[in-house]
Structures are given as C-alpha cells and as structure tokens.
Amino acid sequence: MAADIVPVLMYHHVRPGGGMIAATPEHFEDQLRWLARHGYRTLSTDEFTCHLRQGGAPRRSVLITFDDGYLDNWVYAAPLLRRYGMRATIFVVTGWVGQGPVRPHLGDDRALPETPEHHECERRIDRGRADEVILRWSEIQALREQGLMEFHSHTHTHTRWDQLDVDKNAHMQDELALSRDALMRNLGEVSDQLCWPQGYFDADYIRIAQDAGFRHLYTTRAFGRNRPGSDPASIFRFAVRDTTGASLGRRIHVAANPMLAPVFNGWKRWKRGQTYVG
C-alpha cells in the first residue's frame, strides 16, 4: 500500500545534553528504534520527489533531514543511523564547510571532538571558527560513500538578506551560484534540492531558486501535507524535539493520517495566525 502523505522530519543537532534544536544521542536512538520497530522506511530525496510527482512511496515512509551541517551530525547522528540501517539528508551551508581529515565519531576508540550547543556554534561561526563545529568535505564525502547521507544546498552563507539594507534578490542569486559551485567542486554534482536559510523565502526567492536550477524547495513550515501532486516549491517539514521515540511516533501518525492531518494542520495554522494552505 502506498503512502498518501510522507512526513519530513527536521533536525539540526544530535549531541550530549540536548539543548536548543538538539536531540540527545539517547533520544535520537530511541526515535530511530521506534521507526525501525514499526517498519518505517527512510527515503532518499529521489524517492521522496518521486512520491511528490507520482506517488508510490511505501505507506510507512519518512524523510529525515538535518539543517546546516554540524559536526555532531558526523560524530553522533551518522553512527546511529548506520546502526539502524536508516538514511538522512543534510542541507549544508557550503561557505562554512572546511578542509582537513575526518575526525573521530561514536564507536571510535579515540576521544570524541567537542560538539557545542547551538548558540555556541553560532558564535564560533561568526568568529571565523566554523571548522570547530561544522562538517568537513572529507567527512561529507565519507558519509556519501557509505550511503548513509546525501547532501544538498542550504545556500552559501545562511544569511537573511531580507533583514539587511541590501538588494536581497541579487545577494540570493550570488548565494545560490556560490553554493552550486562549492558543491560541484567538492562533490562533483549539484541536485535540484534547496533548503531556505532560517526558513525565509518569498515569491522572488522562489523564482531565483528555480532559475538557478532548484526545483524542490524545503521550508520550515510544519503544518501541511507532502502528497502526490503537492507543490515541490513548498515542502513541509516539522521539527523533531528532544523527545522519545513514542512521542515522535504520535506526531508522525498525525502528520501521515489523511483524515487527521488536515484537521490538525488547519487548527495549528489558525492558532498561529498562518494563512498558507497545505
């Protein structure tokens, strides 16, 4: 039986202590364990976009995504995904990714690197110390070769140009060109998948992204349905909290239920004063 709706899960960090937009390794493992026990399949973006185009994804399907490309995705998330035979997608800020050898990860005998909480990561990036908290191209390539994760654009600098006194459209065109160039130089290919920095987009940005070759555009909007025939320029994702597998399972059940989902989403949009349709 094919899925009517495929939920897309949004993560940022998996790190000890949890924190803002972070799950502990224990909770992340519990979430993966729940998915595995209940027969869920984690899709590739090719499988997911095929679902949007024509359907056919297995009934119990999800797409797991990570934003920004933090080092803890290599240290903690990837080994746990491997343990449960799951896959994920990372949207990387290409201007933050550096060079150097791969670092230790969960399961190594070596001491694990520091994986700071979110605000500390932001501070280090702002100070030019992104390599301390962000993936390296060597780690990205290793994960691709293992078949664990795929990597797509999250722009080049993650800047909210709409909040600055500049020509935001011109800067976004440059962002996407630089991101495409970095992905091509380091990975040898660029997909048509793009995640908006800090969730912001407008009609101009959608046009610019599509002109640059990006067709599938991922939002931070949680209350909509990713169904066959849905607009690929408005892919809905919900944030996964630092919570148990059972709790995540309840959220997935609501998101994937063709009767409950529109009621829940409509109520949430009304409650938050949102007017977009999904």
Q: Are 131 and 100 spatial neighbours (Cβ–Cβ below 8 Å)?
A: yes
The whole-number pLDDT of residue 241 equals 93
- Is the residue at 86 inside a domain? yes
The whole-number pLDDT of residue 266 equals 82
The whole-number pLDDT of residue 278 equals 35
d(CA 116, CA 86): 25
d(CA 19, CA 116): 10
- Is the residue at 171 inside a domain? yes
Q: Are 177 and 115 spatial neighbours (Cβ–Cβ below 8 Å)?
A: no
Helix (H, G, I), strand (E, B) or coil at 91: strand
What is the token pair recorded at 124? 């280090």
Instruction: List, for the chain, all residue ranges whose pLDDT scores fall below the cut of 50.
Output: 275-278
Tell me how many domains the chain contains: 1
Q: Are 67 and 44 spatial neighbours (Cβ–Cβ below 8 Å)?
A: no
Q: Is 1 exposed, middle or buried (0-12, 13-18, 19+ CB in 10 A)?
A: exposed
- Segments forming the whole domain that contains residue 256: 8-272
195's enclosing H/E stretch is: strand 193-195
- Is the residue at 141 inside a domain? yes
Long-range contacts of 211-218 (CB under 8 A, 24+ apart): 212/173, 212/176, 212/177, 212/180, 213/180, 214/153, 214/176, 216/45, 216/49, 216/52, 216/192, 218/8, 218/65, 218/91, 218/193, 218/194
| Number of CB atoms found within 10 A of residue 124's CB | 16
The whole-number pLDDT of residue 232 equals 98
Angle between helices 245-256 and 260-272 in degrees, nearest 10: 100
From the list 222, 224, 235, 236, the residue with the least C-alpha distance to 278 is: 224
- Is the residue at 111 inside a domain? yes
- Is the residue at 58 inside a domain? yes
The whole-number pLDDT of residue 92 equals 98
Q: Are 75 and 104 spatial neighbours (Cβ–Cβ below 8 Å)?
A: yes
The whole-number pLDDT of residue 277 equals 37
- Is the residue at 278 inside a domain? no
- Is the residue at 277 inside a domain? no
- Is the residue at 2 inside a domain? no
The whole-number pLDDT of residue 276 equals 39
Q: Is 254 exposed, middle or buried (0-12, 13-18, 19+ CB in 10 A)?
A: middle
pTM of the entire structure? 0.95
Residues 233-260: tens digit of each pLDDT:
999 999 999 999 999 999 999 999 988 8
d(CA 245, CA 235): 23
Helix (H, G, I), strand (E, B) or coil at 238: strand
Helix (H, G, I), strand (E, B) or coil at 78: helix
CATH number at residue 256: 3.20.20.370
Radius of gyration of the chain (CA): 18
